Amino acid sequence: MVCIYFSNRDDAAFFQQAVRFSKGKWNVKPQEYQTEFQLITGTLGQAYEDTVTALVELFRERKLLGWLEGVLRYSYYYTDPQEIQRILEVAQEYDPSPPEGHSWPPLFEEVSQNIDQMLQETYSVEFDHLCVHVLKAVHQTLIDYTGKLIDEYKLEEAHQLMVDSWRQRVSLRDTGVQLLHIKDDSPFRYYHAEGNELREAETLLYMNQYPDSSIRDLPLDWDLTPALVHAPDQLIIYSDRQGVGKLELLVRIFEEKATWKPLKDFPF
């Protein structure tokens, strides 16, 4: 039999909701200072796994941010509330799906393993004590995980500064280009107002003739570079696709100067 005691009613309510569809039947005993959950029937193996999974989700939803904030303040010595809040927002954005291609410390795997270990040792446990045990066991991995979040936060901040510099350029720079059309293709195809396709050589020549610090180190991404270099007064995007990152980035940069139209309206 598994018995778990919760001193916090919100933690108990979350756990009860999490095991609502588990293979086991729980006997819930509300008491004055705690709530007791007893797993009394069901397929024990699957019900036990459901219990561990529910506890991991409880840690993720109700304990993780507090743990991360503690590490930010006392291991990485962050004091600015806005910076701390932004890093915590990054944590929420990346949980449960961090960016692909990144190797993340196995924090939640270790949380699960330590919950399992403690329940194997004693089937009766107070959740508060379980929290202390797990935090102590995964503390170094939690520090490493927080470090990865800080790295991602710094990358996002650097990216935002770059986007802001591009936005300022297209807002203030008068390049003499009134209109560019973008046709959603692979890669994007740019056209002048009269219908002539914009060539790479034109863009490179402009970059050399009119140097600008905001585009000096611009990567030669021909889906984005022509729009940023020529900075037209109006940018018309023709696409039937939604959620295309580069197109959405251009809209963010050009703001009211950008117009989105369906491909069937492409004039050339």
* Per-chain mean pLDDT for the chain: 86
Residue 173 DSSP SS3: coil
Give the residue, 182 or 212, on which the prediction is more confident: 182
Q: Read off the pLDDT band of 121 (50, 70, 90).
A: confident
CA nearest to 91, candidates 71, 116, 75, 113:
71
Q: Read off the pLDDT band of 142 (50, 70, 90).
A: very high
Q: Read off the pLDDT band of 99 (50, 70, 90).
A: low
Give the residue, 235 or 173, on which the prediction is more confident: 235
Interval 23-36 mean pLDDT: 78
pLDDT of residue 41: 56
Residues 6+ apart with CB under 8 A from 20: none
Q: What ranges do the domains of the chain cover?
A: 2-167, 176-265
Interval 172-182 mean pLDDT: 87
Interval 5-29 mean pLDDT: 83
Residue 250 DSSP SS3: helix
Within 10 angstroms of residue 87's Cβ, the number of other Cβ atoms is 21
Edge-to-edge strands, sheet with 189-192: 189-192, 179-183, 234-238, 258-261
CA nearest to 62, candidates 106, 102, 17, 24:
17
Residue 97 CA, chain-centre distance (Å), reads 7
Per-position DSSP letters for 125-145, written without gaps between them: EEHHHHHHHHHHHHHHHHHHH
Q: Which sign, positive or negative, has the C-alpha torsion 42, 45, 46, 50?
A: positive
The proportion of the chain whose per-residue pLDDT surpasses 70, expressed as a percent, equals: 91
Give the residue, 35 or 76, on which the prediction is more confident: 76
d(CA 1, CA 40): 6
Per-position DSSP letters for 1-25, written without gaps between them: -EEEEESSHHHHHHHHHHTTTSSEE
Cα distance between the two ends of the chain: 73
For residue 259, give the amino acid letter. Answer: T
Q: Which of 53-62, 171-180, 242-251 has the highest mean pLDDT?
A: 53-62
Pairing state between β 35-42 and 2-6: antiparallel
pLDDT of residue 144: 96
d(CA 121, CA 3): 12
Burial class (CB within 10 angstroms; exposed 0-12, middle 13-18, buried 19+) of 120: exposed
Residues 6+ apart with CB under 8 A from 171: 255
Interval 61-71 mean pLDDT: 95
In this predicted structure, the answer to whether residue 101 has a pLDDT above a threshold of 80 is no
In this predicted structure, the answer to whether residue 156 has a pLDDT above a threshold of 50 is yes
Q: Read off the pLDDT band of 76 (50, 70, 90).
A: very high
pLDDT of residue 43: 47
